[in-house]
Amino acid sequence: MNLPDPQVIANAWMSHLRDPGQWQSWFKMVPEAEANPVAALLKEVGAAIEPETIEQLKNDYMANVGELWQQFMAGKPPAMADRRFTTPAWQGSAMSSFSAASYLLNARFLTAMADAVDAAPQQKQRIQFAVQQIVDAMSPANFLATNPEAQQKLIETKGESLARGLANMLADMNKGHISLSDETAFEVGRNLATTPGQVVYENPLFQLIQYTPATATVHQRPLLMVPPCINKYYILDLQPENSLVKYAVEQGNTVFLVSWSNPDPSLDKTTWDQYVDQGVIEAIRVVQEISGQDQMNMLGFCVGGTIISTALAVLAGRGEHPAASLTLLTTFLDFSDTGVISVFVDESQVAMRESMLSKGGLMKGSDLASTFSSLRPNDLVWNYVQSNYLKGNEPPPFDLLYWNSDSTNLPGPMFCWYLRNTYLENSLKVPGKLTVAGQKVDLGKIDAPTFIYASREDHIVPWTSAYGSLGILNPGKGKANRFILGASGHIAGVINPASKGKRSYWVNDTPAKGGKNAKPVAAEDWFAGATEHKGSWWPQWAEFLAEHGGKDVKAPAQHGNAKYQPIEAAPGRYVKVKAG
């Protein structure tokens, strides 16, 4: 089953949304499956539901339709809690409120159909996801003909809002993505990624930034940060008030950071092995030479955490243990449950990608961005269609959403290896199953205590999956791993500055052992015994780094050393390259 694109669905089904009567004809649409993508999906769903269940759903549906129609004829506005339809423009118009209520009724009906499907778990999840895409796309709020707020603004502005909306849409078509933020308000190096530092090393795959100390003394062991290569590194260094990099520097750490290149055709044959060996392992070597320390604290975020863990396992196979500690932020090591993103990963889809990219080529950043946007279409697609195009508004400046639109490419061979060996086959956690950079990979041989952070509402890395790393990683003799659960999602949970005092986090002081013989408590049991604390988890992490950072020494007076001289000021060139 091909998963529908939200914007394609919306365009194809605009005519149905303009006529509320069409909402009462779902089953009549099924015979048109060959010409109608929504009908084709409904036919597939209907064929996988017990006849008694379908009959009950139909009866409930028709009863609800009748009740809604009676309310409409009696002039009684329907009760709606959905925030899309709570404004006076929706509530004050009988036709608009009826249209919205009809849509919500049909949305519940379609969702109930998908939930009733008798299928294997992954197939059922794919059907539920596809139905949700259709439901979100078909909202009457998404179209001028059925959105009373947009119509009202059209009248008030004498058509100017529509002209601005069309201009916004044409501009976004030229850019290749929907504008989520005022992109003229930000510039990397001007008001984003401004923590002072110097690029002290570069190769075609990455630049290594060394940040300027902010304290007179620093921990003896430096901190190496590895962000995801799927996104730009400056998610960790947005503006000064919400920069994790700046915070780490201010806590007395000598911070080094990997700034991945944005691959172009010259890197389209780069492999996962090269990201590990010529990327992270090379960065570790340079940091060791510059700092004079054999060991360092290390951090990996999302896929950066997967890469750095792989690198440390490769080095362990070579008899090297450069990590004094490891921090993993919203990271998969066990891919047993990858959440909603698993709808995009099965043998046929991975094989298709491999046939296109495994020997060379680029996985385009725009394609990756569209995939992630489809996981939250109301927040990252339709909300902006309504505001930017239908109402002619300009999106407000928002640094995180600016970053979200600054996409990166991935080399095809690296991307295909990652898809097959982690998401599809979950081989990384199996000791010795994979060979990377000439070494059998056994994550249990990493000899370092680990600070594992997960976000409770993370839709990309479910927190229970991040928690599963406790059963894989060995903290080392006499040491202990730590697990902290933060509020919010994949990004907002991580970027939660200590100075703001927002959100909360959960801790459970039950010893969190790790490694082959460890049996951490189940994730649900861990949470049941956890204590919630208000504010940011960052101070907890700072304490962990200090614990494993060695003694305090005088801050370095210069960047790099005689061998590794500064190349250019942070943030460097690589992070400014746009995905073509």
Taking each helix axis from N to C end, the angle separating 94-115 and 37-47, rounded to the nearest 10 degrees, works out to 40
pLDDT in the model for residue 13? 32
pLDDT in the model for residue 281? 98
Token pair 């979200």 is found at 404
Q: Is 125 inside a domain boundary?
A: yes
pLDDT in the model for residue 10? 37
Q: Which of 114, 134, 302, 369 is catalytic?
A: 302
Residue 465 has pLDDT above 50, yes or no: yes
pLDDT in the model for residue 518? 57
Question: In terms of domains, do 352 and 207 share one?
Answer: yes
Q: Is 117 inside a domain boundary?
A: yes
Instruction: Tell me the C-alpha to C-alpha distance, in Å, between residue 113 and each of 116, 341, 417, 528.
Output: 5, 21, 36, 33
Q: How confident is the model at residue 43 (pLDDT cuts 50, 70, 90)?
A: low
Q: Is 389 inside a domain boundary?
A: no
pLDDT in the model for residue 47? 60
Instruction: Tell me the C-alpha to C-alpha distance, in Å, between residue 216 and each of 244, 295, 526, 560.
Output: 20, 21, 40, 18
Q: Which residue has the higher pLDDT, 193 or 476?
A: 193
Q: Is 182 inside a domain boundary?
A: no
> What average pLDDT does the structure give for the chain?
89
Could you say which of 91, 106, 140 is where a domain stops?
140
- Tens of pLDDT, residue by residue over 480-534, are 899 999 999 999 999 999 888 889 999 997 755 544 455 788 999 999 999 999 9
Q: Where are the alpha helices (DSSP H) in 237-387?
A: 244-250, 272-274, 282-291, 303-317, 347-357, 365-374, 377, 383-384
Q: Is 183 inside a domain boundary?
A: no
Domain housing 133: 6-140
Q: How confident is the model at residue 39 (pLDDT cuts 50, 70, 90)?
A: low
Residue type, 367: D
Question: In terms of domains, do 457 and 539 share one?
Answer: yes
Contact 227, 236 (CB under 8 A): yes
Pairing state between β 296-301 and 223-226? parallel
Could you say which of 103, 118, 140 is where a domain stops?
140
Question: In terms of domains, do 326 and 415 share one?
Answer: yes
Closest to 538 measured CA to CA, from 448, 461, 450, 453: 453
Closest to 365 measured CA to CA, from 262, 220, 502: 262
pLDDT in the model for residue 500? 85
Taking each helix axis from N to C end, the angle separating 160-175 and 148-156, rounded to the nearest 10 degrees, works out to 120
Question: In terms of domains, do 13 and 128 share one?
Answer: yes
- Tens of pLDDT, residue by residue over 404-447, are 999 999 999 999 999 999 999 999 999 999 999 999 999 999 99
- Tens of pLDDT, residue by residue over 110-164, are 899 888 888 888 888 888 888 898 899 989 999 999 999 999 999 999 999 999 9
Q: In percent, how much of the chain has pLDDT > 70? A: 90
Question: In terms of domains, do 115 and 264 share one?
Answer: no
Residue 16 has pLDDT above 50, yes or no: no
Residue 8 has pLDDT above 50, yes or no: no
Question: In terms of domains, do 108 and 230 share one?
Answer: no
Q: How confident is the model at residue 44 (pLDDT cuts 50, 70, 90)?
A: low
- Tens of pLDDT, residue by residue over 253-308, are 999 999 999 999 999 999 999 999 999 999 999 999 999 999 999 999 999 999 99
pLDDT in the model for residue 291? 98
pLDDT in the model for residue 515? 47
CA-CA distance, 33 to 219, in Å (whole number)? Answer: 65
Contact 388, 172 (CB under 8 A): yes
Of the ranges 3-7, 128-132, 229-233, 463-467, which one carries the lowest mean pLDDT score?
3-7
Question: In terms of domains, do 467 and 544 share one?
Answer: yes
pLDDT in the model for residue 120? 83
Q: Is 163 inside a domain boundary?
A: no
Pairing state between β 450-455 and 439-440? unpaired
Residue 551 has pLDDT above 90, yes or no: yes
pTM of the model: 0.89
Question: In terms of domains, do 130 and 249 share one?
Answer: no
Work out the average pLDDT over 310-334. Answer: 98
pLDDT in the model for residue 476? 77
pLDDT in the model for residue 512? 53
- Tens of pLDDT, residue by residue over 364-395, are 998 888 888 888 889 989 999 999 999 999 99
pLDDT in the model for residue 71? 87
Question: In terms of domains, do 457 and 538 share one?
Answer: yes
The helix (run of H) or strand (run of E) holding residue 507 is strand 504-507
Question: In terms of domains, do 133 and 206 share one?
Answer: no
Residues in the chain: 580
Please count the structural domains in the chain. Answer: 2
Closest to 208 measured CA to CA, from 290, 312, 105, 137: 290
CA-CA distance, 449 to 434, in Å (whole number)? Answer: 23
For residue 229, indicate whether it is catalytic.
no
Contact 492, 530 (CB under 8 A): no
Give the chain's count of helices (H) and strands (E): 23, 17
Q: How confident is the model at residue 17 (pLDDT cuts 50, 70, 90)?
A: very low
| CATH code of the domain containing 233 | 3.40.50.1820
Q: Is 463 inside a domain boundary?
A: yes
pLDDT in the model for residue 25? 39
Question: In terms of domains, do 110 and 253 share one?
Answer: no
Q: Is 404 inside a domain boundary?
A: no
Question: In terms of domains, do 11 and 134 share one?
Answer: yes
Residue 33 has pLDDT above 50, yes or no: no
Q: Where are the beta strands (DSSP E) in 86-170?
A: none
Could you say which of 92, 115, 140 is where a domain stops?
140
